[in-house]
């Protein structure tokens, strides 16, 4: 996924850029509003991250200009201001999401993933996720394990889709919580652990080699299980 970051605070921009690159994203960082706007016009990205207060051209102005030109790339606004009016203005100008500094990096990644899925969509060629003996038809919303169709709840499907989208990658509880339950969920809840336990019972056809691996104190990742 290609991401454009327009952020004039180089400390913040470098922190976000380094973090996203470590997650496997292709990232371009620009510290000037006009230059960021021109780059967004000339190149294709899956997500654009805009700081609200930028030199020469504000994030709101960039967002409004891009939308007026028909650019539909999902846009996330970053700001140090927590005013409801600022958020409403940004969203009305065409922003898709809004985060207030300081923020959790896990939450930022979760929101980017959600925006990226919305932008890319699922074409006929990539509507099937397959990891070892697990098969997930995203269009039909059907899941099989070892050729046996499974019955999963909406939340179980959402967790499985997230894990199967990046097999082997570690997902923290907070990241799963943000993706599946939303940003306002109590971070101290154990709901992720409860649903992971339920999901394991349904997708593990070989109990001695579970699909979902627990990394103590860090989170979960999808691994191969059935031979």
Give pLDDT tens digits for 164-173. 888 888 888 8
Q: Return the residue matching tokens 């996330």.
A: 76
Q: Is the Cα dihedral 79, 80, 84, 89 positive or negative?
A: negative
Q: What is the pLDDT of residues 21-41, one digit of tens each?
A: 988 889 999 999 999 999 999
Q: What is the dihedral of CA 116, 119, 122, 123, to 10 degrees?
A: -140
Q: What is the pLDDT of residues 111-160, one digit of tens each?
A: 888 787 666 554 444 678 888 889 998 777 889 988 889 999 988 998 99
According to the model, what pLDDT value does residue 123 have?
Answer: 42
How many other C-beta atoms can be found within 10 angstroms of the C-beta atom of residue 22?
8
How far apart are alpha carbons 125 and 25 in whole angstroms?
22
Two tokens at 90? 């940004």
3 band by pLDDT with thresholds 50, 70 and 90: very high
Of 55-64, 76-85, 170-179, the range with the lowest mean pLDDT is: 76-85
Answer for the pair 71, 37: CB distance below 8 angstroms, yes or no: no
197 band by pLDDT with thresholds 50, 70 and 90: very high
Percent of the chain with pLDDT over 70: 84
According to the model, what pLDDT value does residue 227 have?
Answer: 46
How far apart are alpha carbons 189 and 175 in whole angstroms?
13
Mean pLDDT of 191-198: 93
CA distances from 59 to 35, 86, 111 (A): 12, 11, 18
pLDDT at 71 over 80: yes
Answer for the pair 206, 226: CB distance below 8 angstroms, yes or no: yes
Helices (H) and strands (E) in the chain, counts: 8, 11
Between residues 53 and 86, which one has the greater pLDDT?
A: 53
Main-chain phi, psi angles of 14, to 5 degrees? -65, -40
């Amino acid at each position: 996924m290609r991401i454009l970051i327009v952020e004039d605070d180089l400390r913040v921009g470098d922190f976000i850029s380094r973090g996203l690159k470590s997650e496997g994203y292709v990232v371009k960082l620009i510290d000037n509003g006009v230059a960021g706007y021109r780059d967004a016009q000339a190149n294709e990205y899956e997500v654009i991250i805009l700081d609200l207060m930028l030199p020469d051209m504000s994030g709101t102005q960039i967002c409004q200009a891009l939308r007026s030109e028909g650019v539909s790339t999902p846009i996330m606004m970053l700001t140090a201001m927590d005013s409801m009016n600022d958020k409403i203005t940004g969203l009305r100008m065409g922003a898709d999401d809004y985060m207030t500094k300081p923020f959790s990096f896990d939450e930022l990644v979760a929101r980017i993933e959600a925006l990226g899925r919305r932008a890319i969509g699922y074409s006929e060629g990539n509507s099937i996720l397959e990891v070892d003996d697990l098969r997930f038809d995203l269009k039909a919303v059907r899941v099989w394990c070892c050729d046996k169709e499974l019955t999963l709840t909406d939340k179980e499907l959402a967790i499985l889709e997230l894990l199967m989208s990046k097999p082997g990658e570690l997902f923290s509880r907070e990241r799963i919580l943000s993706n599946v339950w939303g940003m306002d969920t109590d971070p101290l809840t154990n709901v992720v652990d409860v649903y992971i336990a339920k999901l394991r019972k349904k997708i593990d056809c070989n109990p001695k080699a579970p699909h979902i691996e627990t990394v103590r104190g860090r989170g979960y990742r999808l691994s191969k299980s059935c031979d």
